[in-house]
Amino acid sequence: MAAWRIVFMGTPEFAEPSLAALLDGDDSVVGVFTQPDRKVGRGMKMKPPPIKRLLMEHAEGGDIPVFQPGRLRDSEPLEALKRLKPDLVVVAAYGQILSKEVLGTPRYGCLNVHASILPRWRGAAPIHRALLAGDEQIGVTIMGMDEGLDTGPMFSKRSIAVPSGMTGGEAHDRMAALGAELLMETLPDIKDGSVIPETQPEHGVTYAHKLSRDDSWIDWQRPAAEIRRQIDALDPWPSGQTLWKGKPLKLFTPKPMAGSGAAPGEVTALHKDGFEVACGDGSLLITGVQAAGKRRMLASDWLRGRALKVGEQFEMSAGGGDKIS
C-alpha cells in the first residue's frame, strides 16, 4: 500500500500522541499546522504550542515544515497547504475552524480525532462535559470532516468505562492515547476502502461548550454526587473552587460521606486527611486544596496552618472574589 502524504493540524497536549504515532507510521507527514506561539506566565515569555515542541524533540520531526497562521482561512496559509499536496489532513484539537476550501484541498479529505462518542458531545470540551454530566462511558471517534461542528461521517469509535473518581486530567490523557491508537488502526482501512463511514444519527446530539472559570464555582446546595463530579472533572483546570473568608480556594480529590443534615457549605468535621463539607444531599471529605498564590497541597497540610473550625461556612459563589489563575 503506497504511503500517503499527510498534513497534521493540532495544538495542545491532546494532539501529541496522534502526531507521534503518525511520525512513527508508514505514511509521510509532510507538514504540520498549529497555533501561533503565545506569551505565557508572569514573565510573558513566548512559548511554542506542545505540537511544535514535539516536532523539535522527535527524531522524525526535524525537517517537517511547521506553519502557525493566526487564521488558516487566509490566502497565505491556504496556498502553503495546497503546495504540500496532501492526500489527507488529520486534525486533533487544532483550535481553528476549517473552511470549505481547506476541507476540499486534500485528495481524500480531512480526518478528525474527536474525544467523544459522537453524536454526543460535539464541540470544544467533550471530555470534561461528559464527566460533568456523569456519563458512564467516554471515548473517541475518528470522523470525516465537513463544514458542520463535528457533524461528519464516522469511521470508527472506541469507548471505556469511567471509573469512580476519574479526573479531567486522567480522562484527557487516556483519550489522547486512545485516539492515537484508533487513528492508526483506522487509517489502513480508510486507505484500502474497507471501511464505510457511518452518517451520524440525528438523535442523541449534545454540545460540549468550552470550559471557563465560571464553571468552577461550587454551589453547595447541589447534591454531593454532582459536586464531586464537578471537582473531579475540572481537575486540574479550571478546578472546582469555593470562597473561604472571601478568598478563593480550589478543592481536589473529594470523597463521598454520609452527611449530617447541616446547612450546605458548612464544615461538619475535621479528619486526619481533610475536612468534611455539607452539601444539599450528603457531604464531601475534601483531601486536596490550593489557595490563591499557593501550590496545590494535601488538605491535611493546609489545615495545620489554618484555624478552620467545625461550623464555619464556605460561601456559595457563582463568581467574584480573587480567582486563582
Residues of the chain with pLDDT below 70 are 61, 317-325
Q: What is the dihedral of CA 274, 276, 279, 283, to 10 degrees?
A: 100
Segment 259-293, tens digit of pLDDT = 778 999 999 999 999 999 999 999 999 999 999 98
Let me know whether 116 and 49 are in one domain: yes
Distance of alpha carbon 95 from alpha carbon 108, whole angstroms = 22
274: left (phi over 0), alpha (psi -120 to 50) or beta: left
pTM of the shown model: 0.93
Look at the chain and count its residues.
325
Range of the domain at 77: 5-208
Let me know whether 172 and 245 are in one domain: no
Do the beta carbons of residue 251 and residue 241 sit within 8 Å?
yes
- Those residues whose C-beta lies under 8 Å from the C-beta of residue 27, and which sit 6 or more positions away, are 3, 4, 5, 6, 88, 187
Let me know whether 170 and 79 are in one domain: yes
DSSP 3-state assignment of 250?
strand
Let me know whether 54 and 34 are in one domain: yes
Do the beta carbons of residue 284 and residue 258 sit within 8 Å?
no
Q: For residue 317, what pLDDT is reported?
A: 61
Q: For residue 17, what pLDDT is reported?
A: 98
Q: What one-character-per-residue DSSP string does 2-40 give?
A: PPPEEEEEE-SGGGHHHHHHHHTSSSEEEEEE-PPPEEE
Let me know whether 26 and 130 are in one domain: yes
| CA distance to 113, 154, 168, 225, 260, per residue, from 276 (Å) | 40, 45, 22, 14, 10
Q: For residue 8, what pLDDT is reported?
A: 98
- Our count of domains for the chain comes to 2
Distance of alpha carbon 205 from alpha carbon 148, whole angstroms = 13
Let me know whether 111 and 248 are in one domain: no
